[in-house]
Chain A
Amino acid sequence: MPIKSYVAFPQKGKKNQLIKVLERSNYCEVVPSSNKEVLILVTDTQNDRQENELLLALENIEEIEHLNLVSGFNEEVSREKEKATNNDK
């Protein structure tokens, strides 16, 4: 059940179209910047199937130049990642 947030960079001049596309998409909430060609995307999926479906949908949105993942909240996943982090050391 991950909740993730991204800084999303639209293709040049496509910010408004991107907002519309994302607002229509499942699992997405959008916080646009009021002065820059950037927006915040918060996603909320309930399971792996939904998450994979969402990632595929995001990959196919032409108005996105790139997405920067900022945070991901999922208690079980976080613990696994933490373990992986510590094993790296």
Chain B
Amino acid sequence: MRKCQEKKKKQQIMINRRDFIKKSAAASAMAAAITMIPGILFASDQENSTLTGDINWTKGPCRFCGVGCGILVGTQNGKAVAVKGDPNSAVNKGLLCVKGYHQIMCTSSADRLTKPLVKKNGKYVETSMEEALDLVASKMKETIDKHGKDSVAMYTSGQSTIPEGYVASKFMKGAIGTNNLDCNARLCMASAVAGFLTTFGADEPMGCYEDIEHANVFVLWGNNMAEMHPVLFSRMLDNRLNRKNVRIIDLATRTTRTSKAADKSILFKPQGDLAIANSICYELINNGWVDNSFVEKHVAFNKGKTNIGYGLEDNFKFNDEATPINYEEYKTFLADYRPDKIEEISGVSAKDIKYLASIYGDPNLKVVSYWCMGMNQHTRGTWVNNLVYNIHLLTGKISQPGNGPFSLTGQPSACGTAREVGTFTHKLPKGVVTNKKHRELAAKIWKVPYDRIPDKPTYHATEMFRAVDRGDIKFIWTQVTNPLVSLPKTSRFRPAMEKESCFVVVSDVFPTPTSDVADVILPAAWHVEKSGMYGNSERRTQYWDQMVEAPGEALPDAWITIEIARRMGFGDLFPYSKENHHEEIYNEYRQFHVGKKHNMAPLDILKKESGTIWPYIEETGKSTLWRFNSKYDPACDQAKDFDFYGNPDGKAVIWQRPYEPAPEMPDSEYPFWLNTGRVIEHWHTGSMTRRIPVLHQAVPNAYVELHPTDAKRLGISNKEKLKIISRRGTTILPASINERGMPTIGQVFVPFFDESMLINDVTLDSFCPISKEPDYKKCAVRIEKV
């Protein structure tokens, strides 16, 4: 009888589990359909069907992009077994994309790093964590003793948690005393940071995702949201379906799934966005569509340097200088951007420019501009960010529900960690290293001598790896990042990292081409195997609790950094406990942002809610949804309607920035533009998503997209192998014609996720001289059949 009951119970569990998996499979397919077919709906009872079984669900943010969807992770018997969207999350309201649903599947990959590996006589040998940490600390210390503190460097990530980024900054800048800390957010977000700082004196968007429910028009500047930010794109499509007068305009250099779902697709020539934005401003002024009262009260005008170079030389230095100008001078400058005058350089008809201007200029329409890598990975990335702000400032369409410019991020904590904690060479948790007051504050909170924090930035990402190649950096430690796939011109940096002159330490969850060149590999805990916080694109900080144990000897990166710091004699600066270090670090970090302008929510609030948006107003327990607008933001001078308090005069800056060409243009030898990017199934360098069978099988390898006209002219058929050649390197990929996306004639597109087809061996290491962000979207290549 008892046996029979046990058997029945076992069968019941099996049935529940099978039912649960079926629902999970259906949910994945629905998510895939939503991203494939914009606007598709399924009956709500099916979409909302809850997964059953003896599963324990814990909230957290998604591991992948910067949208910051809320997830619920199902754990059973100490294992993460399922993921579903968090219906309580204001970001995604229960929806996830195909990556989100499958994220935990990578953690059980057979090649997961679980033990430290040390290279001995050219072979990796497993060792204990204690031994590996001792070795890393002694090598770092020895290098500093021999070559000085600027001979060691750390390169971290927009995927590092807030505590991980914070201890990395404290360790490098406060303990060792070098600014040799930069991160991979330099490769995706630095132009947005420089844009916000130069225009508003304060980083990060003023609005939030709730803008989607208020806006009438979404102008997407080089932003394939259907694939890169699919959940937000779905939210946008849902609004178009359910509200009158909602339009999406796709302004891009390539036809994508976003273009197909948009109401209007406008294609422009690479680099033409600079001219388009200025031309829109010309039209706004010429047609009397400027909000003169707003401009008079809240805007100043500046111009910067021109012909500023492209950063192609080692040790390239540039500092912009702001020169005040007046409105009349600005208007005179814009005369060169009359729509008919820029048709040739932009590739956009005067009619379409006028159409765009009429949208921004219509006082009855609320407009949000979205962008991501298209504008940021740009040799004039800071400029084009400034120029889009100009449009919103001239029309006063900013800092209000449904009106504003909004840069989206690509990594889950590019904002929370890289930008807010400040894991860039020039940054501190509050402010910049060049500012005496900011250094004083950091020294006080970190309890280090003020003069230990150097007052000058050192190496940004590209220059950091150039310094490795030159032999200037002799010890580098990468955490949560895969630079030998993601850097531009990896054809230079791979051999650089292999040189004996530099000791390479890589902390990661999986082996990658970067760990392949490491002297020591430290196994790291994945996302749900540790506690932490991420900060998403809309200034939302989200907390999660550790849900499962990390395998083997893997540790959270923050704890690895603390262990190294202690071994190097900085134990008194890192007095945190192993069990609770993430909380102790967050509470210390919060001190940097005390005050109305950037107050971070207390931990107990973050633990309860699916994130809060800073500045968090403790008196009311509310997030600040729209900054710089006194109606919503108590940090504003309440006597004013708008207060751009990041700048001392409370005014935002309209910048005079011209069109300047890209550093390398197609010519007779290299006749195609190369544009690189991503696909929905894979996240960045693919180290996680290529280990998720469903995603890997969906897109198992990279490819090169060509326009059908170019393919026909060159006699290239689909799947035919092509060699892509630039002045830096080559890679071989199968052709893709008329499939997912379509580049314009004379352009090819390659996604960069595939480590076996390294397109970044081909790309150019030019960057924006102000933000130092590389341009992965424009260089010249030729194609040869293999």
Interface residues of A (CB under 8 A from B): 3-7, 29, 31-36, 38, 40-42, 44, 68-73, 78-79, 81-83, 85-86, 88-89
Contacts and interface: CB of A to CB of B under 8 A. Distances in A.
Interface of B: 18, 21-22, 24-26, 28-30, 32-33, 36-37, 39-43, 46, 98, 102, 105, 108-111, 690-691, 693-694, 696-698, 700, 755-756
Contacts of B26: 5, 29, 31, 40, 42
Nearest to A79: B110
A50 to B, nearest CB: 14
A56 B18 CA distance: 23
Given A31-B30, A71-B25, A71-B28, 7 more contacts: A5-B26, A31-B42, A33-B33, A40-B30, A44-B18, A86-B109, A86-B691
B25 A5 contact: yes
B38 to A, nearest CB: 10
A6 B693 contact: no
Contact of B29 (A5, A35, A44): A5
Given A40-B30, A78-B693, A82-B110, A73 B21 contact: yes
A6 B41 CA distance: 16
Contacts of B700: 88
Given A5-B28, A7-B29, A42 B22 contact: yes
B233 to A, nearest CB: 16
A56 to B, nearest CB: 21
B110 to A, nearest CB: 6
A79 B41 CA distance: 33
B22 A70 contact: no
Contacts of A73: 21, 24-25
A7 B25 contact: no
30 contacts: A3-B18, A4-B25, A5-B25, A5-B26, A5-B29, A7-B32, A29-B22, A31-B30, A31-B42, A31-B46, A32-B43, A33-B41, A35-B39, A36-B39, A36-B40, A36-B41, A38-B40, A40-B42, A42-B26, A42-B29, A68-B32, A69-B697, A71-B694, A72-B693, A73-B21, A82-B109, A85-B691, A85-B696, A86-B110, A86-B111
A21 to B, nearest CB: 18
A interface majority secondary structure: strand
A81 B24 contact: no
Contacts of B105: 78
Q: Which 5 A-B pairs have the closest CB atoms?
A: A5-B25, A5-B29, A70-B29, A71-B28, A81-B693
Contacts of A85: 690-691, 693, 696
Nearest to B513: A89
Contacts of B30: 31, 40
Nearest to A86: B111
Contacts of B21: 3, 73
A81 B41 CA distance: 32
A3 B22 contact: yes
A81 B42 contact: no
B109 to A, nearest CB: 6
Contact of A82 (B18, B43, B693, B698): B693
Nearest to B686: A89
B10 to A, nearest CB: 16
Among B25, B32, B108, the one with the most A-chain Cβ atoms within 10 Å of its Cβ is B25
B761 to A, nearest CB: 17
A6 B105 CA distance: 19
> Which has the most chain A C-beta neighbours within 10 Å: B33, B36, B43?
B33
Contacts of A88: 700, 756
B42 to A, nearest CB: 6
Given A42-B29, A82-B109, A35 B41 contact: yes
A70 B32 contact: yes
Contacts of A72: 25, 693-694
Contacts of B756: 88-89
A42 to B, nearest CB: 5
Given A5-B25, A40-B42, A89 B36 contact: no
Given A3-B25, A34-B42, A82-B693, A40 B33 contact: yes
Contacts of B111: 86
Nearest to A41: B29
Q: Of A29, A69, A83, A89, which is in contact with the most chain B CB atoms at under 10 Å from its CB?
A: A89
A44 B697 contact: no
Given A3-B22, A36-B40, A71-B25, A82 B691 contact: yes
A70 B36 CA distance: 11
Nearest to A1: B18
Contacts of A89: 690, 755-756
A86 B111 CA distance: 7
Nearest to B98: A70
B42 A33 contact: yes
A82 B108 CA distance: 9
Nearest to B32: A70
Contacts of A6: 29
Contacts of B36: 7, 68
A33 B40 contact: yes
A18 B718 CA distance: 31
B753 to A, nearest CB: 12
Contacts of A5: 25-26, 28-29
Nearest to B512: A89
Contacts of B33: 7, 33, 38, 40
A5 to B, nearest CB: 4
B138 to A, nearest CB: 32
A40 B111 CA distance: 33
B24 to A, nearest CB: 7
A89 to B, nearest CB: 7
Nearest to B38: A36
Contacts of B696: 85
B608 to A, nearest CB: 33
A68 B37 CA distance: 13
Nearest to A46: B18
Contacts of A40: 26, 29-30, 33, 42
A66 B694 CA distance: 18
A34 B109 contact: no
B517 to A, nearest CB: 15
B110 A83 contact: yes
Contact of A71 (B39, B102, B108, B690): B102
A81 B110 contact: no
A47 to B, nearest CB: 14
A88 B110 CA distance: 13
A89 B111 CA distance: 11
Nearest to B23: A42
A16 to B, nearest CB: 15
B41 A70 contact: no
Nearest to B47: A31
Contacts of A29: 22, 26
B690 to A, nearest CB: 7
A3 B18 CA distance: 8
